[in-house]
């Protein structure tokens, strides 16, 4: 697809003003729509909820499931470029959309972001250290788990967020119980680390590979949910900040990411990062 700038208010070859599409109509989608409209863009939202927060304020609301073929065709007929509100939109749908319109981030990048096991494999391939972990796809895998990973946190490979889809475990018995409680779906067991704090790196990367970043953020969680973010991060050292920025840049470049990406790092008690 052409990477020519899509300027707000411009009339495109189809005779319509520049329209930006977004898959997902939640609160983040609403923020996207509001920002786009403030810049002069028309907007189109695809979401299965007829009263989605973004859909009710967009110029166009495609009321359809994320994988609905007719809905996807309708969205590409309205939008001159398309993005996604969150990482759990089906990657296959983004791939289909990309056959008719520019889509960023792309399906390949989103498919990695949807799966913790794929994410960790990608980080490792980029030379970005992760907490020691094991992928658990079945009960048979439980017997192969190294004792060094306990105590740990068992997380579903997909769809977990804000502490959901996670269980802390100290023993093999607790690990088995947690795996069953999470439905026996593919999971990742992460070794618990002595954390000092978490930092976030937000980068924006274009199709040419140019990358910029916001100031690093330091996060405070309560009960597994983000409570306070401080910007700029008050406790991180310049060396740690440089490591985090370099890691985020490598992660984005290796999947040819286009768009805004947030990468979170743990600073542990020896000053290293996860």
Within a domain: residue 13? Answer: no
The answer, yes or no, to whether residue 272 has pLDDT greater than 80, is: no
133 and 174 in a single domain? The answer is yes
Question: pLDDT for 89-144, tens place per residue?
Answer: 999 999 999 999 999 999 999 999 999 999 999 999 999 999 999 999 999 999 99
User: Average pLDDT of the chain?
Assistant: 93
> Could you tell me if 33 and 43 are in contact, meaning their C-beta atoms sit under 8 angstroms apart?
yes
Q: How high is the pLDDT of residue 196?
A: 87
121 and 182 in a single domain? The answer is yes
Count: domains in the chain: 3
The band of 2, judged by pLDDT with boundaries at 50, 70 and 90, is very low
Tell me the pTM.
0.87
Within a domain: residue 7? Answer: no
Question: pLDDT for 167-224, tens place per residue?
Answer: 999 999 999 999 999 999 999 999 998 888 899 999 999 999 999 999 999 998 887 7
The band of 269, judged by pLDDT with boundaries at 50, 70 and 90, is confident
Last residue of a domain, one of 64, 93, 113: 113
How would DSSP label each residue in the chain? Answer: -------TTPBPTTSSB-EEEEE--SHHHHHHHHHHHHHT-EEEEEES-TT-TTTTTSSEEEES-TT-HHHHHHHHHH-SEEEESSTTS-HHHHHHHTTTS-BSS-HHHHHHHT-HHHHHHHHHHTT-----EEEE-SHHHHTT--GGG-SEEEEESSS--TTTTEEEESSHHHHHHHHHHTTT--EEEEE---EEEEEEEEEEE-TT--EEEPPPEEEEEETTEEEEEESS-SS--HHHHHHHHHHHHHHHHHTT--EEEEEEEEEETTS-B-
106 and 26 in a single domain? The answer is yes
55 and 72 in a single domain? The answer is yes
Within a domain: residue 273? Answer: no
CATH number for position 92: 3.40.50.20
Domain interval for residue 207: 195-268
160 and 224 in a single domain? The answer is no
Last residue of a domain, one of 55, 82, 113: 113
The answer, yes or no, to whether residue 271 has pLDDT greater than 50, is: no
Last residue of a domain, one of 113, 145, 175: 113
120 and 109 in a single domain? The answer is no
179 and 233 in a single domain? The answer is no
136 and 75 in a single domain? The answer is no
Within a domain: residue 41? Answer: yes
The answer, yes or no, to whether residue 230 has pLDDT greater than 70, is: yes
Question: pLDDT for 19-58, tens place per residue?
Answer: 999 999 999 999 999 999 999 999 999 999 999 999 999 9
104 and 32 in a single domain? The answer is yes
């Amino acid at each position: 697809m052409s990477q020519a700038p899509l300027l707000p208010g411009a009339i495109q070859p189809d005779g319509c003003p520049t329209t930006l599409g977004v898959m997902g109509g939640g609160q983040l989608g609403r923020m996207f729509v509001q920002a786009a409209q403030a810049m002069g863009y028309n907007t189109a939202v695809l979401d299965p909820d007829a009263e989605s927060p973004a859909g009710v304020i967009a110029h166009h609301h495609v009321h359809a499931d994320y994988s609905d073929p007719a809905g996807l065709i309708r969205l590409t007929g309205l939008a001159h470029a398309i993005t996604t509100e969150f990482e759990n939109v089906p990657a296959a749908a983004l791939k289909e959309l990309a056959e008719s319109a520019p889509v960023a981030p792309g399906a390949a990048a989103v498919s990695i972001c949807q799966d913790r096991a794929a994410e960790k494999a990608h980080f490792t391939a980029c030379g970005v250290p992760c907490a020691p972990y094991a992928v658990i796809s079945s009960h048979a895998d439980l017997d192969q788990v190294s004792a060094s990973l306990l105590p740990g946190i068992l997380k579903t490979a997909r769809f977990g967020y804000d502490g959901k889809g996670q269980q802390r475990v100290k023993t093999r018995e607790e690990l088995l119980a947690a795996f069953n409680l999470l439905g026996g779906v593919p999971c990742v067991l992460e070794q618990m680390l002595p954390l000092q704090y978490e930092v976030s790196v937000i980068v924006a990367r274009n199709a040419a590979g140019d990358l910029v970043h916001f100031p690093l953020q330091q996060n405070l969680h309560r009960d597994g949910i983000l409570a306070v973010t401080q910007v700029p991060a008050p406790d991180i050292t310049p060396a740690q900040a440089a490591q985090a920025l370099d890691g985020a840049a490598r992660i984005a470049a290796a999947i040819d990411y286009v768009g805004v990406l947030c990468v979170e790092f743990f600073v542990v008690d020896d000053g290293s990062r996860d």
